[in-house]
Structure 1
Amino acid sequence: MTSHFFFLSDPVTSERLSWFEESFKFYFIQIYPESLMYRETTKHPVFTFFLTGDALASLENPETQQIWSVILSLSAVRIICDRQELDLRGISIEQLKMKNPNQIIDQNGLSSHNQPSFWNDVVMLVRQQNRPPLPSDSIGWFQIESPYMHRSAWYGLKFLSSALESRFSVELYAYLDGIHMGHIGQSPIESENIGRGLEDLYDLAGKQGLTCQILACNHCATARGYSTWDDGKGVIISTCAIKPFKIRDLNAMVDRFEHSHIILSENAGSIEFPWKGSAPSYDRSEQNSNSPPITILITKSPYSTEHAYGAIAFAVACAHQGILTRVIFLEDGIYALKGDPKACPDSIGFNIQDYINVAAGNENLHLFALTPSFQKRGVTKNKNLKAVLDIGYPGLAKILFYLPGNVLVDHQRLLIF
């Protein structure tokens, strides 16, 4: 059975749950209608949510709890909770669990150390996604937030550590502020040392005959003051980073995204295509592609953070290397598309709409905007952004679940910026 899973750690708003809900309704009515005829929970749920961090609060919040109830009414959905994080935050999910006892799992399975481990649960589902399992299987984590200020860096380390225990080779991709995970000389008092944890991960992988590859974006590193020099052969050296941290051109990172292994992030997903060949394709790759498509959701407003610009830059890099890449502006991300922004003549800042128009020339890069997000905020898209196509909830669902033309793989990656 086709299986999709989503990993969420940031706060989950009612708006975000609403577009999940509408996409699922489309999926079950248009693609998998037979599931609606049976009320028993399927043995292998079609959709699995892994919730940790602040995302867990949505199970207790009355506003979002109501939407979760609708999503869970579709029997082929389950939620796996991080028990340790539930206890840390004092979150009770009993009310929702009583209504859906077989679909909400709040007790994690045992790791190789015979201890409950949410991260082991995540890795086990990833292993099920790899068919057939290969001796060289890898798992990746894409990090865009800094450590210590954000808990997601710790999540990434725990995820990769569990993957290594399960005999996966592991990969970390540090982008935007995620490159601070590899800064030398970290010495926190109140939390786990992320830099040392990465060094330990690298050493343990070598002892087990596995690989641990840690790649950081050179552009992001340079912008943040990581003094580097290039040996002229593509190797960039920094005295600011720990030894396993390899600062490279962004294309070196994108090279890894051309492979088919599962890659997660602080908010991400892996979506399988339920059919091949005969499926109606919503869009298509320029040429036949064996790389999993990437759908990037831009959910944060531009200018105040680097999220929107960084997401587009990463999308352009992926598309340039032949990966079918879809960018969808939704939630507060639609503010990047409104009005007619004018940059100050004396400013070195960028106009993100100009950047979008330039980026739109790549045939492997497709740009969309979710119209309900505009309607919710009472704003409209700049009519000159003709490369950005308006879509509703059915269009979003088609991008998520329909196999694109010329794509020869069985899943796509979802990254939420």
Structure 2
Amino acid sequence: MTSNFFLFSEPLTAERLSWITESLKYYFVNLYPDALRHPSRAESPFFAFFITDNALYSLHEEETLRIWDIILSLPSVWLFCNRRELDLRGLSVSPLKMKYPGTVFDRDKEAGSRSFWEEAVRFCRKLDPDMDTFGYLQISSPYMNRSCQNSLECLHTAAREGLSPELYVYMDGIHVTHAGQRPIEFINIGDGFQDLAEIAREKGLSFQLLASERSSAARGYSTWDDGKGTVISACTIEPCRIRNLKAIIDRFRRSHVILGESAGTTDISHAIRAGQEPWEKKEPTPPSLVIVITRPPYGTEHTLGALSFAIAGAHYGITTRVIFLEDGIYSLTGTHNAEPDDVFFNIQEVIDAAGGNENLEFYAYLPSLQERNIQKNKKLNAVLDIGPGELTTLLFSPPRGVISRHQRILFF
């Protein structure tokens, strides 16, 4: 059974659910038409959506709930909801469970049931039974954002399941590593990751906490730099190692599952064939990476951070596709002009400069442009226009030359 995994913790808008729906339809009609004609009950679904935090509100808002009805009506689509977060918000999915029995799950409090994160980790493990490591990319700061608690719970669960946990902190995620955290109203995230290091050691597992050197320096964490990629800080928790972004990219070259605040893992092994030779007998490559840019440029670091990560990944041999959609499409409209005294990077100049990398491709989702009544800058020749069919291919089919079990998807 081909399985595809998505985790969403940020608000799920009608626009996002709509393009997900169109992709699923295209997937079934063009790639797996038999699933529509002969639906069957299996131990693992084609698609598993794990939603938590503010993404849960999409199950109650009228517009988004109508789209969820379409998604859940498709064959072999399962929905896992974080029961603890539902209860915290006073929400319930009982009507959906009655309407789609055996498809919608929120079993945290049922006797003998696994927690939301146990289900997530075990499902990911089915995608790659041989993996011994579990990674998480953290890009938001603690306390202001609940996602840091998710990364903590997820990696603690991975360790309990016998997987070596790894945390990669980037952009504002660096604040996870600050020493001396003393929150009153929240779980202490810093202490939690120090405890995780000890738990991993006791279980004979390794634990890595890698922080981006550039993100650390921008936020005042770098105390001493040897100029060769090693940075010492006087204000980080003990497990933290500040390194050049290449150190994090090297972990992405490995085949283990890596999640994030909103992320996906899609099975591409079924599409990798050469005659009768199964893909397992071929020389493996690093998993391909799809970076989905969904926010407008300049207001936050998300767009520049996503592009920097994509460029680094491509530079070190990871086949990377960047897709601009939703509000991310504003990076491509008009001609961006920065004043001479501005210290901002011009996003369009970054795209132009990176366009010649053979491992890096850029795409613009036309429905996002049309919905906003805007047009792409025609001078951005490196960015190709795509529709729902091409988007589906990018998400669920391997790029040329990639031999891997799965493909990673990160939302910025």
Shorter-chain TM range is over 0.9
1:260 aligns with 2:255: yes
1:335 aligns with 2:330: yes
User: Displacement of 1:61 after TM fit?
Assistant: 1.1
Asked if the contact 2:135/2:168 (under 8 Å) is kept, the reply is yes
User: Displacement of 1:139 after TM fit?
Assistant: 0.2
Structure 2 partner of 1:85: 85
1:151 aligns with 2:163: no
| Cα distance in 2 for residues equivalent to 1:339 and 1:23 | 28
5+ long unaligned stretches in structure 2? 276-282
1:371 aligns with 2:404: no
Asked if the contact 1:109/1:118 (under 8 Å) is kept, the reply is no
Structure 2 partner of 1:56: 56
1:26 aligns with 2:26: yes
User: Displacement of 1:41 after TM fit?
Assistant: 4.2
| Cα distance in 2 for residues equivalent to 1:108 and 1:369 | 39
Structure 2 partner of 1:13: 13
User: Displacement of 1:206 after TM fit?
Assistant: 0.9
- Counterpart of 2:339 (choices 344, 360, 383) is 344
Which stretch has the larger CA shift, 158-167 or 86-95? 86-95
| Cα distance in 2 for residues equivalent to 1:259 and 1:213 | 14
Q: How high is the TM-score relative to the length of structure 2?
A: 0.95
Which stretch has the larger CA shift, 392-401 or 120-129? 120-129
1:275 aligns with 2:301: no
5+ long unaligned stretches in structure 1? 280-287
User: Displacement of 1:115 after TM fit?
Assistant: 7.3
| Cα distance in 1 for residues equivalent to 2:346 and 2:110 | 50
SS at match of 2:165: strand
In structure 2, give the amino acid aligned to 1:225.
G
In structure 2, give the amino acid aligned to 1:406.
G
Q: Deviations over 1:153-191 (max 9, x none)?
A: 000000000000011001000000000000011000011
Structure 1 partner of 2:123: 125
User: Where in structure 2 are the equivalents of 1:69-108 lying within 5 Å?
Assistant: 69-108=69-108
Structure 1 partner of 2:278: none
SS at match of 2:5: strand
- Alignment CA distance shift 1:206-1:121 (3 Å): same
| Cα distance in 2 for residues equivalent to 1:237 and 1:54 | 36
In structure 2, give the amino acid aligned to 1:184.
A
- Counterpart of 1:202 (choices 191, 197, 200) is 197
Asked if the contact 1:299/1:332 (under 8 Å) is kept, the reply is yes
| Cα distance in 1 for residues equivalent to 2:312 and 2:164 | 24
Runs of at least 4 residues off by over 6 Å: none
SS at match of 1:405: coil
Asked if the contact 1:11/1:55 (under 8 Å) is kept, the reply is yes
SS at match of 1:406: coil
- Alignment CA distance shift 1:38-1:115 (3 Å): closer
- Counterpart of 1:295 (choices 275, 290, 294) is 290
Asked if the contact 1:110/1:120 (under 8 Å) is kept, the reply is no
Structure 1 partner of 2:279: none
Asked if the contact 2:398/2:407 (under 8 Å) is kept, the reply is no
Q: Deviations over 1:7-63 (max 9, x none)?
A: 000000010001110111111011111111134544321000001101111111111
Which stretch has the larger CA shift, 88-97 or 398-407? 88-97
Asked if the contact 2:128/2:405 (under 8 Å) is kept, the reply is no
User: Displacement of 1:232 after TM fit?
Assistant: 5.3
Structure 2 partner of 1:282: none
Structure 2 partner of 1:403: 398
In structure 2, give the amino acid aligned to 1:300.
R
User: Displacement of 1:230 after TM fit?
Assistant: 2.2
SS at match of 2:401: strand
SS at match of 2:166: strand
In structure 2, give the amino acid aligned to 1:129.
L
Q: Deviations over 1:77-117 (max 9, x none)?
A: 01011010110011122332222122101113889xx6751
In structure 2, give the amino acid aligned to 1:35.
A
Query: Number of residue pairs matched?
Result: 404
| Cα distance in 2 for residues equivalent to 1:325 and 1:116 | 34
User: Displacement of 1:125 after TM fit?
Assistant: 0.7
Structure 2 partner of 1:161: 156
Asked if the contact 1:300/1:333 (under 8 Å) is kept, the reply is yes
| Cα distance in 2 for residues equivalent to 1:175 and 1:205 | 22
User: Displacement of 1:236 after TM fit?
Assistant: 1.2
- Counterpart of 1:238 (choices 233, 237, 250) is 233
Asked if the contact 2:9/2:55 (under 8 Å) is kept, the reply is yes
Q: Deviations over 1:368-387 (max 9, x none)?
A: 00000000001000010010
| Cα distance in 2 for residues equivalent to 1:399 and 1:346 | 39
SS at match of 2:48: strand
Structure 2 partner of 1:221: 216
SS at match of 1:269: strand
Identity %: 50
| Cα distance in 1 for residues equivalent to 2:359 and 2:40 | 41
- Alignment CA distance shift 1:226-1:336 (3 Å): same
Q: How high is the TM-score relative to the length of structure 1?
A: 0.94
Q: Deviations over 1:184-231 (max 9, x none)?
A: 110000110000001000111111110010000000000011132124
User: Displacement of 1:278 after TM fit?
Assistant: 5.8
In structure 2, give the amino acid aligned to 1:139.
F
| Cα distance in 1 for residues equivalent to 2:40 and 2:59 | 22
In structure 1, give the amino acid aligned to 2:16.
R
